[in-house]
Structure 1
Amino acid sequence: MVKLIFKNKFMRNLSLLMSGTVVAQLLTVGVTPILTRLYSPEAFGALAIFSSIAGVLIILSTCRYEMAIVLPKEDRVAINILGLCFSICVITCMVYYLLIILFEENIVSVFGITEIEDVLWILPLSALAMGLYNTLNYWSTRNKQFKRVSISRVTQAGGVTATQIGLGVGKVHSLGLFIGTVTGQMLGSLVLALQVWKSDGSRIKRNLNVSSWFKLLFEYKDFPLYSSTQAMINAASISIPPLLLGIFYNATTVGYYALGIKLIQLPIALIGDAFNQVFLQKFSDHANKNDNLYKELKKATLLLALIAFLPAVGIILFSPRIFEFFLGTGWGSAGVFSSLLIVWLYFSFINRPAVVAIQVLRKQKYFLYYEIFLFITRFIVLFISAQHLNAFESIGLYSIVGGIFNLSLILIVLKTTKNYKKNY
């Protein structure tokens, strides 16, 4: 069965995305030993907090309307969703800047984020860059233009690593990590935008109809109502560890956790995101044709489970020693966090087809309920355990909870697609 999957067009499209993904991944992982010698664990901890906040702002920047771009049968409708997303993103990020200007001191004091006080002004830039990038990404997915996405990912990774190293050598302290991250995001967005405009610019201009945007706001209201809320809760759920580790332990522990999860989440996220894009386009086609969705979902989930199994076992057994050797003396603790987190991240990786199916089948409301329950459970488990256990034991419990929830989601969605009949 897996052999047949690799022969089809789905896997050819995935390989296009993966070519850029692999290069981007190698760039990021390859420079990490340099970065760990230029920046302290505390600096990586501060970046983790920054990224947690930026993740929520990025979701809000487009209200997740970009996910609807792949759904309409007519390109004209998709083009106007694209335009709607751009306008929402620009307006939202202007509001972010206004709030920071007016309430900077209040934001810092209320949320206790003194570590990133000097870089709050960068947050709207990050949200703008990634909001536009995600929108263009879904447009490219709809048009099966995976090569352009691959190129943009390499550009983004190159921009991040080059800037972070350059500023680190220049002794800019932790600021280099923040500026490097946003610089890469902006470059990736610019490169993708130029490619889209060159290929599709005339078609986009010809079909844009601003008067239709108000109708589209309501037609696809499930995305801001459920998908964006779900995504924000998910981002908050993932942000629990760095925030609580900082409260109950110290910034160094946050730094070890942040780098530990980054180095194993990076390939998972890059490979998973590439898979998501191709599978989203394919699954949407099958849904429109009323094909056997259960069969496609089962194949895709099994494929990811097989791909990730041996790497997951390797991380559990060897990551502390690899981290110590690769990153330098003292970074073995980051490897311990990696080995503990792999339970959650393995099932998070293989549940990607199920999450795509939820979006295509317009079951976002139920996914929102799932995320709320997961967030509450994770928070309670980590909050209580952090008061009685050490950081490693607390993160181990957090990981087990995440693994159980992700496996449950896969089984529920498989059952749903098995009985699904298109009725709209």
Structure 2
Amino acid sequence: MTRTRPPRAASVSGGLASIVGGSVAGQGVVVVGYPLLTRLYDPAEFGLLTVFTSIVGILAVLSTASLETAIPIPGEDREATAVAWAGIGFVVLTALVTGALGWVVAAPLGRLLGVPALAGFWWLVPLTVLALGIYQLLSDWMVRERSYPALGRRNLFQGVGQVSTQAALGCAGAGAGGLLLGLGVGRLCAMGGLLSHRGLLRQPWPGLASVRAAVRRFRRFPLLAAPSTLLNSAGLDIPMLITSAVYGDARAGLLGLTVRVVGTPSAIIGQAAYQVFTGESGARLRRADGQLGFAVRGAALRLCAVGLLPAVALVAAGPQLFGLVFGQRWIEAGDYARLLAVAYLAQFVVTPVGSTLALLERQGQQLGWAALRLTLTAGCPLVCGIVHAPIKTAIIGLCCAHVLSYLLLYALCVRAADASDRTDRVRSG
């Protein structure tokens, strides 16, 4: 039997600082690079990147069968290793199927989404899905190990790899392909957790029987959590695809820049908070200390304090900031950022604690919430497109849909955490 290591002493604030430090440095490279990229690539090329990112993002989420969220749960390292290798098998299979389907769907899908050039770049889709899927699995392996400094360094490598590739290919005149290729290269530069001291390849091979047993043990993740995670990703990505199909690739490019400049830094810092919250809450649940509800509320409050000032700045001066930094043709993207500021604040505050439902294996609630969020976020721009409403009206509706969805998710997480704490106190008392 594989011995389980006792939890290492690690403070939440120290772990968060380690990840955020690397994340901020990596994202700093990305942010500094965008003023150059917006002058090397036009809005239509950013529109193709927006569609490409949405497609590979949805497929990458599907590819792991949500087994990455099960990696921090097992008490024994051998079982966690089996879960990770099962996830890698699903990723490889998804990439192969995606590549094969490209022969049939790439051209019509590109025309439907208003980016016919997508067909010529479909060969990059399965490769990027492979890189993103393995990246997700290794991230949660490092979360299990509570390797927070390594996670921070990896986030830095990702930013440097992505921006340097996009900038170099843009200067070489590669066109939209440079933007697309940089996405996968950045993840390849950030494959931490594989060969490190406690990396996945350093663990004994669990054997096919153990891998199958792990899939059976955590079958609720592929069966319920995977559809929920897919719907959750679709709730963010489908509106981008609808925008491209209804309002054109240039408008999709403007919205895509907004998402990257505003949403990506928020998501990266939020992901750092998510990783620390998940690692510490997983350890907390194994100790059954009855304090999960306190942790959920405290994490949300701290994140709100961090995110409030940037949101206010976007509302006050979004267009002026975008025009100054990215050039005059991107001022409209600043208007989009102003309209979406509250939605990004809600996402930043609630998403990190959203892992509460997965840790408590309440995948049914997670699935229901994700379906509702997708209905709201996809329905608003779709209805606006059908009635020929201005794109700003669609974005206001999208903001309202996100805010309502995240308020509901927070309420579900608090209620689930409080119920778990009551059970722990009964068992211990």
TM-score bin, normalised by smaller chain: over 0.9
Determine the structure 2 residue equivalent to 1:5: none
Identity %: 25
> 1:236-315 counterparts in 2 under 5 A?
236-290=234-288, 291-315=290-314
Q: Can you list the C-alpha shifts for 1:82-126, whole angstroms capped at 9, x where unaligned?
A: 222222222221222222246544554666651311111101111
1:164 is matched by which residue type in structure 2?
Answer: Q
Residue 193 of structure 2 contacts residue 199 of structure 2 at CA under 8 Å; is this kept in 1? no
Give the aligned partner of residue 321 of structure 2.
322
- In the alignment, the residues of structure 2 paired with residue 312 and residue 132 of structure 1 have an alpha-carbon distance, to the nearest angstrom, of 33
- Alpha-carbon deviation of 1:292? 2.0
Residue 235 of structure 1: how far off its partner (Å): 2.0
Is residue 84–residue 137 contact of structure 2 (8 Å, CA) maintained in 1?
A: yes
1:62-98 Cα deviation digits (max 9, x unpaired): 1111111100111111111122222222222122222
Match of 2:208 among 207, 210, 219: 210
1:355 corresponding residue in structure 2: 354
Q: Secondary structure at the match of 1:351?
A: helix
Match of 1:403 in 2: 403
Of the structure 1 ranges 318-327 and 144-153, higher mean CA displacement relative to structure 2 is found in 144-153
Question: Which sits farther off after the overlay, 314-323 or 80-89?
Answer: 80-89
Q: Does 1:346 align with 2:345?
A: yes
Asked if 2 retains the 8 angstrom alpha-carbon contact of 1:261 and 1:337, the reply is no
CA RMSD of aligned residues (A): 2.0
CA deviation digits over 1:209-228, x for unaligned, max 9? 22111121121112112222
Mapped to 1, the partners of 2:135 and 2:11 lie a distance apart of 25
Give yes or no for contact 2:113–2:245 (8 Å, CA) kept in 1: no
Give the stretch that moved more between structures: 374-383 or 399-408.
374-383
CA apart distance, 1:388: 4.1
Match of 1:47 among 24, 46, 49: 49
Matched-pair contact (CA < 8 Å) for 2:138–2:193: yes
Match of 1:36 among 35, 38, 42: 38
Q: Which of the residues 118, 132, 148 maps onto 1:146?
A: 148
Report the 3-state secondary structure (helix = DSSP H, G, I; strand = E; otherwise coil) of the residue aligned with 1:70.
coil
In the alignment, the residues of structure 2 paired with residue 247 and residue 56 of structure 1 have an alpha-carbon distance, to the nearest angstrom, of 17
Structure 1 pair 43/200, CA: closer, same or farther in 2 (3 Å)?
A: closer
In structure 1, the gaps of 5 or more residues are 1-7
Aligned to 1:94: 96
SS at match of 1:284: helix
For residues 388 and 113 of structure 1, the distance between their equivalents in structure 2, rounded to whole angstroms, comes to 20
Total equivalences in the alignment:
413
Whether the aligned pair in 1 keeps the contact of 2:271 and 2:352 (CA below 8 Å) is: no
Counterpart residue number, 1:84: 86
Matching residue of 2:4? none
> How many Å separate the matches in 2 of 1:202 and 1:97?
27
Q: Distance in 1 between matches of 2:367 and 2:198?
A: 36
Question: TM-score, normalization: structure 1?
Answer: 0.92
Classify 1:111/1:388 alpha carbon distance in 2 versus 1 (closer, same or farther; 3 Å): closer
After superposition, what is the alpha-carbon deviation per residue over 1:351-402, rounded to whole angstroms, capped at 9, x for unaligned? 1243111111111111111111221222332222232421112101110111
The residue that corresponds to 2:370 in the other structure is: 371
Deviates more, 1:245-254 or 1:107-116: 107-116
Letter in 2 for 1:377: L
CA–CA separation in structure 1 for the residues paired with 2:108 and 2:30: 35
Q: CA deviation at 1:202?
A: 7.2
Cα distance change of structure 1 residues 105 and 253 upon mapping to structure 2, 3 Å threshold = closer
**Amino acid of the residue matched to residue 362 of structure 2?**
K
Matches of 2:46 and 2:107, distance apart in 1 = 23
CA distance in 2, matches of 1:33, 1:111: 27
Alignment correspondent of 2:6: none
Runs of 4+ in 1 over 3 A off after TM superposition: 101-113, 198-203, 421-424
